[in-house]
Every structure is written in C-alpha cells, then in structure tokens.
Amino acid sequence: MNTRTVLVTGATGFVGRALIDRLIADGGRPVRAAVRAPGATMPDGVSVVVVGGIDDHTDWSAAVEGVDTVIHTAARVHVMQERAADPLAAFRVVNVDGTLRLARAAAAAGVRRFVFVSSIKVNGEETPPGRPYAADDPPTPVDPYGVSKLEAERGLEEIGRSTSMEIAIVRPVLVYGPGVRANFRAMMRLVQRGIPLPLGTVHNRRSLVALHNLVDLLVVCVDHPAAANQAFLVSDGEDVSTTELIRRIAKAMGRSPRLFAMPSMVLQLGARLLGQATVAQRLCGSLQVDIEKTRRLLGWRPPVDIDTALAETVRHFARYDSNSQSSAS
C-alpha cells in the first residue's frame, strides 16, 4: 500500500537539504532521503537510503519502494571550470542516464508523481531586456549542462506518456539563500570586504529565485493536480540589475556599496582577455523569466520577497562563512 512517502534525491545538496527541512516542518507524510554515500546527517524522522553513484546502473529499488512522490534534485551541476574531456558525455551520465534510470524504477514501483528540478538553461542563456523566457517557449540550450537537462526532460515526458506516472518539471533561475556558494557567495565576499566593483551602471535585468521560494514551489508540485505533466519556470517575481543586486546586498549588510562606472562593453572585453567571458556575460547580460503560467495553473505566488531573502542569506553568510570577517569601511 502506498504510504505517501516522498523520496528526495540529492538530499545533502543546497536544494535537497532545504527541501527535506520544509517537508519535515510541514509534517503529514514520511520523508526518505537518497544519498550517494553513508554518513549523511538528516533530521529526525527521515529515513536514509544509500544509492551510490548516479548513472544508468544505479539500483533504485530500495529507494522507491512504497514511495508516492519523487523529487529529483540530484544532478551533475554546471561548473565554471569544466575539467571533463567530454563535458556533454559527463553530464549525460548523471543528468540523463541516471535520471531516466530512477524514473523507470519509480514508474515500475507505482510512484504517482515525479518532480524534476531542471534548469533555466534548457530555455537558453540570455534574453533581450523586457523579453523574458516563458515555460512553453521552444528550448534553446547552449551549453552541455542545459542540453543534458533538456534530454532528461524529454526522456521523462516519454516515460510519463507510456506509464501512469505524472511528471512535473521545474526550471529554476539562479538560486540563492542561506549557504549559497559559487559566484553569489563570491559577490557577497567582495561587498563585505568593501572592494570597489566596476558595476555601477549595469542596466541588465536578471531573474533570481530565493531558496525558500523554490522549495515552496516544489512542495506545491507534489500534490497540485494542475502540476501533472507540465513544465514551470520559477523566480522571485521581481527582476533586478547587477548594480541593484549589489546595492541590495550591501544594504542587507549595513554597508555602502563601493561601485564605480565602467561601460559594459569595456568590462566584457577585459573579461574575455582574462578568460572570464562567461562571468562577464552573467554580470552584464539579461536573463528574465515569465512565471505567469506558474501563477495561473498553480495559484502560486513567491512567499518571500527578494529583500527578505537577501537579508536571510546575508545573515547566514556573516555567521558561518569562514572568510566573512569585518573589514574597515
């Protein structure tokens, strides 16, 4: 008999940990965490299944037994310094083969719904200001990570058509929140240290999503009837320029932003010369999403606004980041 257990993969990751905390806080259903190696610490009441590496040979049988819903957050994530000789092949092993192996096992076990955390990179890398991506736009992935996520989506849709398992796909934009790493944490470090940044007049528009908001939507997708066999975009519902984002981070830190103006073309040229063209594109380019479909079909609204989410992110950074030491203004 189905116990309405929710299986979360990638349970030790940035999104997975927050998702498990939310499911436990909500109560009402058993939660199972799939992890790659023994020793993971989970909240009381969460059962843990070790699945090892994720690929086309992973044994998911114990993980999906008695499960009602799978929320698949595990992935080989996009990295700035790719070291694989064949990046697309490396992404496919985990993001395509591993995902579809799990989905087939889930369908065979009678799982009702499979919620897949995909990526906005399925839609593409950049939008003209004021012309956001919509969920049903033709996909135009550019890099191997985005291609692998699209291939996984298409494989899941085929499994959904050939079985009774419902598929719900969520494509987040850049996710930030307590414990965020990579470029967002690096930006907070620069602001915290008072380092002057040449980003004083960047007029791009970028959509972001707070971890709290992403997790909230994933939980909605577990049971909402309209989520079945649909793809959704998710953001905070407010787009900001890089300049404005830095100012808001500084405000949350109680600091004055140290920004000076440099033309975007000059900034991007300098970045290309330094081998950082991708970083410059993210800082100066626009990437907006339209979440109207998410609002309309699911009745969903981002529960946390961007300033509240930034304040929470900064508090965690100030408390836990080993390099977050006060510097002279």
**Which residues are marked as active site?**
145
The two three-digit tokens of residue 278, written as one number: 């991708």
Could you tell me how far CA 34 lies from the centroid of its own chain?
A: 18
φ, ψ of residue 98 to 5 degrees: the values are -65, -40
- Segment (H or E) for 70: strand 67-72
**Within a 10 A sphere around the Cβ of 81, how many other Cβ atoms?**
4
Both tokens assigned to 297: 């079909």
**Tokens of residue 205, six digits:** 């528009």
Output the CA torsion 298→225→44→311 (10° steps).
Answer: -10
Amino acid at 60: W
Question: Is residue 167 within a helix (H) or strand (E), and if so which, with residue range?
Answer: strand 166-172
Q: How far is CA 31 from CA 5, 23, 26, in A?
A: 6, 7, 11
DSSP classification of residue 289: B
Question: What token pair was written down for 69?
Answer: 């819903």
Nearest to 133 by CA among 294, 300, 291: 291
Instruction: Provide CB contacts within 8 A for 204, sequence distance 6+.
Output: 129, 241, 242, 264, 283, 284, 285, 286
